[in-house]
């Protein structure tokens, strides 16, 4: 198992630690958190990552609402 630090940058503004299997990807994290990739931007250690990205123990994740600019 690996531990992932998750910080919600959405209205929730909360922090939590999620435990995932060793082979877990961003997609598994999305599933665990019950959110979809279409509406959220997943930033892993400062870089946004796509669903197939393999997570590592101790990764720091920020979850943001996806938006376009002005």
| Chain positions contacting other proteins, by CB under 8 A | 9, 37, 39, 41, 43, 46-50, 62, 64-70
Residue 26, φ and ψ in degrees, nearest 5:
-55, -40
For the bound state, the minimum distance from the C-beta of residue 1 to other proteins, rounded and expressed in Å, comes to: 26
For the bound state, the minimum distance from the C-beta of residue 49 to other proteins, rounded and expressed in Å, comes to: 6
Structure token digits, residue 32: 């665990």
For the bound state, the minimum distance from the C-beta of residue 36 to other proteins, rounded and expressed in Å, comes to: 9
Distances from the Cα of 5 to the Cα of 10, 56, 57, 70, angstroms: 15, 11, 9, 31
Q: Toward other proteins, which CB reaches closer, 24 or 49?
A: 49
């Amino acid at each position: 198992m690996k531990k992932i630090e998750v910080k919600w940058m959405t209205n929730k503004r909360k922090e939590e630690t999620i435990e995932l299997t060793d082979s877990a990807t961003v997609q598994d994290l999305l599933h665990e958190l019950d959110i979809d990739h279409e509406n959220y931007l997943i930033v892993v250690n400062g870089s946004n990552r796509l669903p197939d990205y393999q997570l590592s123990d101790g990764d720091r994740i920020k979850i943001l609402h996806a938006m376009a600019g002005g």
